[in-house]
Structures are given as structure tokens and as C-alpha cells.
Amino acid sequence: MNYKLQFGELLPHWDVLLWGLLFTVVLTVVSTVAGIAVGTAGASARTFGPKWLGSLVAAYVEVIRNTPFIVQLFFIFFGLPAAGLKLSESTAAFLAMTVNLGAYSTEIIRAGIEAVPKGHIEAGISLAMTKWEVLRHIVLKQAFEKIYPALSSQIIIVMLGSAVVSQISAQDLTYAANLIASRNFRNFEVYLLVALAYLLLAMLTRSLLRGLGRILFKAK
Amino acid sequence: MLQFSLWDILSNLLIATQWTIVLSLIAFVCGGVVGLVLLFMRTSRIPVLEWSTKIYIELFQGTPLLMQLFLFFFGIALFGVEVSPWMAATLALTFWTSAFLAEIWRGCVESIPKGQWEASSSLAMSYIEQMRYVILPQASRIAVAPTVGFSVQVVKGTALASIIGFVELTKAGTMLNNATFRPFVVYSLVALIYFCLCFPLSWWAKKIESRLNVAR
């Protein structure tokens, strides 16, 4: 190999990378919160809602889980404007991530809900709790505790998948990498650096989520 | 100007779908072979092998597939080798798949009771013999469902090869969209074709899983 790696050439562009990193983090955090909200609603609707709503949620889950994220993203960003709904690239990225995580977390949370013993629900009802109270204090609380690890790994998968939003020119970390590469042609160096950044971000997210889990679900 | 009918769009997409299928199959088969080697290394109880496999898996599971594609595409070129999108996509998807399959299979191997290892080692079997005749036959039964489930991820993963210029279903969709200016129709069809590829696999995985649960 006659090529010498030149990481020094990336130095002048540190601010671009930092903004990209920030966008990726914000994108992940916001769509995680929104996605889990969608997932909770979806899972509750599937287990306790009317049958037609359950089938609708099931269809949503299957469609999202069986198509690539990039196609969902393109459909939302390029396809929806043709149907009259125009979105900015950041909004489209947020929406696609939320819809995507929403489907996966619906499945994960549903598994958690189904693992809650039926007796607990009956006990709650016999204590004159309303349907909502049972759902909130008995079912979801236990469900989340059980599926927390699975949900954490899904969040990391979605975070890594967010690299794709650069393709609709949402200005995330990968977009920053592409931009720098197009300026100084140090493709390999910049992608290596950014891959490392993603790796650190994934490891950091994992330990943060683990810590959060320890606080949320303290040993009884 | 050239006019595209719905059938023109669909037939062109279906031609490109062949490449999605070919790439998925190659990535899955090659990834499975590499994954099996990794599995042997990971469960070998030789510290150097275990650690290096752990780092390998961490690297491929902790970075976006897109970055891996870029790194293979631009990285191999540094050695003065001409890299086609086809080669970069095959390599990146193979290694990515192998990391995930190795980890899935490790879980299956570890779910085999310790007594099986002890019994086979008391019969003076070597590590390879233990794996070949005792552990893998049992573990593979558990492994089928998650492996089929992961194949869906591989098919979806090939969509990213479009970004480095490999013409498969997603890239064909983008090209057709540029030619027809009918993004809603084109991307709906693309999504539909992916769904037709992936849904049977998901369904099959679920079915095998429930069958295993009954047997237990």
C-alpha cells in the first residue's frame, strides 16, 4: 500500500462533524421517545383494543418490519409530497425513524404485556381500578421492566440505522462525513473516523440505557 | 418523451429484484460460513480467539452497515485494487451478516445444558468432535427460527448497497423515480416487492418458533 492516511486533513472540518454528531444524537433521542410512545399505544391497542384496531396495528407492524428503512424514508420524503404532504428533510427523518421504531417497539412491548400474568389484571380489576389504571400501574409497569433490555438494543439498532437519513440530505453525522469527503477526497479517513464515532456512541448509549434501567427498575 | 406505464415500472423493478435476491443469497451463505468459523472461535475457550472474535462482533454490530459499505468501498481502493460496488457490497454484507449470525448462534450453543459438554468430554471427545456430534445437532434445532428471522434483516440490508451504486431494487426505484417523476407509485411498488420477499421469511420464522415452543 503506497497510500499514507492523512487524518490531519479532517481537522479544519471538526465543526461540521460536531454538528452532525449533535443532529444524530437529537434525532435518536426524539424519535426514541416518540417511537416508544407509538409502540406503547400500538401494543396496548393490539392486546386490549377492539379487534379492527388490533388488525390495523398488526398490518402496520408487518409492513414496517418487512421493508427496508431506506425505502420507508424515501417513501415519506419523496412519495408523500406527491400525495400532497410536503416535509422538510429533518421532519421526514424524524417521522421515518419514529414510524420505524414504533413498529418494532409495538412488537417488543406486546411481548412484555403478554408475559404479565392474567391474575394480576384480575386482581387490579377486583380492587376497583379502572381499565386505564390497570394498564398504567399493573400491565405496562411490569411489561417495560421485562422488555427493557430488548428495547435498549432496538434503540441502538435504530441509532445506527439513522446513518441512512443522510441520503435525503438530513444533516446527520454521515451527511457530515459525505460533505467532508467531497471537499478533500479523504474518503477513507473520514469514514473511519465517523465509524469510530458511531461505535463510541453505540457503546455510550448502551451504558447510559443500562444505568437508566437500574434507576427505573430498582431491585424490589 | 418516453412514457412509462405502470407495467414498465413494475417489470423494470422486478428485473432489479433479481439482484437483490442474488446479493441476499450470497451475503447470507458466505456470512453463514464466516459466522460458523467465528462461532467455533468464540466458543473455543482459547482467550486470544475469543477476544478477537468479540472485538470483531462488537465492531460490526456497533457501527452502521452504511459506514461498513463506505469503508470497504473506499478502503480496498487504497491498496490500488479497482473496487466495484458489487464487490464492496458483497464483502461488507458478508462480514456484517457473519457478526450477527455468530452472535445468534452463540446464544443457541450456550443454551445447551453444561452436562452435554461434560458428558462428551468424559467420552474423550475433542472440542471439534463435541461441537460436531453433540452440541451443534442440538443447537441447530433452536437456531433455525432466529436464523430465518435474521435473513429478513439481510434482505433489507442489501437495500443499502444502492447507496454505493449497486443497482438492485432500491437503486432501480431511485432511477425509475428520476425518469418518471412518480415517486409515490415507484416507492410503493418497491416497498411492496420488499414486503413480498421478506414477509414469507418472517412468517416462516414465526411458525418454526411456535412449533419449537410446543415441543418443549
Contact state of B160 with A203 under an 8 Å Cβ cutoff: no
Contact state of B199 with A78 under an 8 Å Cβ cutoff: no
The rounded radius of gyration (Å) of the Cα atoms in chain B is 21
What's the rounded Cα separation, in Å, for the pair B193 and B190? 5
Set of cell numbers at residue B153: 434483516
Domains and CATH numbers, chain A: 10-216 (1.10.3720.10)
Substitution target from B56, B59, B66, B182 for chain A, most A beta carbons within 10 A = B66
Would you state the pLDDT for residue A109? Answer: 96
Q: What is the mean pLDDT of chain A?
A: 92
Q: Under CATH, to which class is B6-215 assigned?
A: mainly alpha
Checking if the pLDDT of A13 tops 90, the result is no
What's the rounded Cα separation, in Å, for the pair A205 and A98? 18
The ipTM is: 0.90
Mean pLDDT by 10 residues, chain B (216 residues): 82 94 97 96 93 96 95 89 92 97 95 94 93 93 94 96 94 93 93 96 92 68
Would you state the pLDDT for residue A219? Answer: 58
Name B103's Cβ contacts closer than 8 Å, sequence gap at least 6. Answer: B57, B61
Compute φ and ψ for A179, nearest 5 degrees: -65, -45
Compute φ and ψ for B82, nearest 5 degrees: -75, 125
What's the rounded Cα separation, in Å, for the pair A203 and A69? 22
Give the CA diameter of chain A: 77
For A60-75, what is the mean pLDDT? Answer: 96
Which residue of chain A has the CA closest to B152?
A66
What's the rounded Cα separation, in Å, for the pair B68 and B93? 8
For A160-189, what is the mean pLDDT? Answer: 92
Would you state the pLDDT for residue B12? Answer: 92
Spell out which residues of chain B touch residue A198, defining contact as CB-CB under 8 Å: 62-64, 67
Q: Determine contact, residues B4/B67, Cβ cutoff 8 Å.
A: no
Pairs across A and B, CB distance < 8 A: 121
Would you state the pLDDT for residue B70? Answer: 94
Spell out which residues of chain B touch residue A74, defining contact as CB-CB under 8 Å: 170, 173-174, 183, 187, 190
What's the rounded Cα separation, in Å, for the pair A4 and A170? 31
For A101-125, what is the mean pLDDT? Answer: 94
Would you state the pLDDT for residue A90? Answer: 94
The long-range contacts involving A116-119, CB below 8 angstroms and separated by at least 24 positions, are A116/A142, A116/A143
Checking if the pLDDT of A1 tops 60, the result is yes
Nearest to A181 by CA among B75, B80, B174: B75
Would you state the pLDDT for residue A20? Answer: 95
B71 → closest Cβ in A69, A79, A191: A191
